[in-house]
Homo-oligomer: A and B are copies of this chain.
Amino acid sequence: MSLPPPFSLIRELVVRALAEDLAEGDVTTDALFPAAVPARGTIVAEEPEGLVVAGLAVAVEVFAQVDPALKCTLSLKDGDRAANGIVILTVRGDGRSMLRAERAALNFLQRLSGIATLTAKFCNAVKGYHVKIVDTRKTTPGMRALEKWAVTLGGGTNHRQSLGDGVLIKDNHLALSAGTGSAATSHHVAQACRLARERAPHRLKIEVESSTLEDVRAAIEGKADMILLDNMDVPTIRRAVDLVKGRALIEVSGGVTLANVREIAAAGPDLISIGALTHSAPAANLSMDIVPVRRRRSHTR
């Protein structure tokens, strides 16, 4: 499980989220409460089957930016599983500040916990097989680092973070290398692998997309380190695994669902990548309750 993204990134994302929600103030709270209201707020998991918590570090920063005097206490930590009804985070201070921070904090928590929870479901579905569930670059613009962190909190593994940190030769690369008037063939697969090995940064493995078994053979011939099987059915995946015989890592991609992921895992690939982890995970249900508390005598500034 990876460390969270650097604090300065989190801070910047929170600045933007609050700019969206609070740049014109909070007209409701301002109208109702002219003075501070000592209060306690609790963020509670509301998913019948539980959820995997992700984003607490961000939520805490939301409260701090809205009002540095708010105090947060965490009952769980990022990556923990929260049963339905469990309190995850408690915040104390001026209730008006909580009302201003509530939506932004929940928006981060719900999206990230949604991703972590969906990832955990996929990981759970393939339990027992030696296969990794990996994400893709199909993330929300501006949120990639957080979303990929959430994937790891759910037990998943990160594929490329950007076009700069992994060589992946895809169908469009092959089409361009084939030239005008002719489709890409297995010949181009092998050739592209060789070119990449020659010219790409030495620290990166070479991965190539294959849509047929002939492509897979060419990839092996081109000494690819990893082969992406794109949208193959399970029997073909199995034959590809047999064909490769461990000479390259095999990644399966395309059309993977909770319903078919275990069957795919059984076919023997090393990795299964799923765009939906980040582009279509439903938000996890979390809510915040704010109640007034008796004012305490305070020794603080």
What is A's interface to B at a CB cutoff of 8 Å? 1-3, 5-9, 12-34, 37, 39, 65-68, 95-96, 98-100, 102-104, 106-108, 110-111, 114, 132, 134, 137-145, 148-149, 157-170, 172-173, 175-180, 192, 195-196, 198-205, 207, 226, 249, 270-271, 275-276, 279-280, 282-283, 288-294
Contact = CB atoms under 8 A, between A and B. Distances in A.
Given A65-B6, A159-B201, A289-B172, A103 B26 contact: no
A70 to B, nearest CB: 11
Contact of A138 (B24, B226, B283): B283
A153 to B, nearest CB: 12
Contacts of A111: 140-141, 279
Given A33-B177, A161-B165, 18 more contacts: A1-B34, A3-B26, A6-B22, A8-B15, A9-B18, A21-B137, A28-B163, A28-B166, A28-B196, A30-B199, A31-B199, A32-B196, A39-B176, A99-B173, A204-B204, A204-B205, A276-B282, A279-B283
